[in-house]
Amino acid sequence: MPQGAEDIAYPGPGEIHRRIVESYPQILEGRLEDALELIDPEVVDHRGGTEGDHGGHRAWRQKWERMSAGSAFHDVSVTIEQNVVCGDTSVNRYTSRGTHTDSGRRYEVLSMDMVRVRNGRIIEHWALRDADAMRGQLGL
């Protein structure tokens, strides 16, 4: 920890988590810098599935660049329905909404994610999204 860092008052885990979730529409537009300020350089992103875990700021940036470059959605919004904080950990249940650009079909799905925060930055992340509901609403 840098000298004097213990004297810095950082936003709590719930506030950092809210900021990152609410930045999702900007991320899809390719505006990453503000959101990346909330990510620790040594972050671990527990993606699960075939992708597995990814580590580091660079991997997180690449994930968001792929999302924004290949985004097939517009009018994206995120509403946090519930937040629970315990120590350095924050869990959000939120609703994501948007429009599939090619088909014009709208989606609205429930998602949950959890982060651990240290010194005002996310150091670990887990996420779940109801991908089946999203595919069904979009007719995929």
**How many residues are there in the chain?**
140
Distances (CA, A) of 132 to 17, 99, 103, 106, 129: 25, 16, 18, 14, 9
Is residue 15 very low, low, confident or very high in pLDDT (cuts 50, 70, 90)?
A: very high
Is-contact 43 35, C-beta < 8 A? no
**pLDDT tens column, 18-55:** 999 888 888 888 889 999 999 999 999 997 666 778 88
Determine the pLDDT at residue 140: 78
Distances (CA, A) of 8 to 14, 36, 88, 112: 17, 20, 16, 30
Q: Ramachandran region of residue 93, left (φ > 0), alpha (ψ -120 to 50) or beta?
A: beta
Residue 5 per-residue DSSP state: G
Q: Of 77, 70, 81, 67, which is closest to residue 99 (Cα–Cα)?
A: 77
Q: What dihedral do alpha carbons 49, 115, 31, 132 form, nearest 10°?
A: 40
Determine the pLDDT at residue 80: 93
Determine the pLDDT at residue 71: 65
Is-contact 79 109, C-beta < 8 A? no
**pLDDT tens column, 102-129:** 889 999 999 999 999 999 999 999 988 8
- CB-based burial label for 86 (10 Å; 0-12, 13-18, 19+): exposed
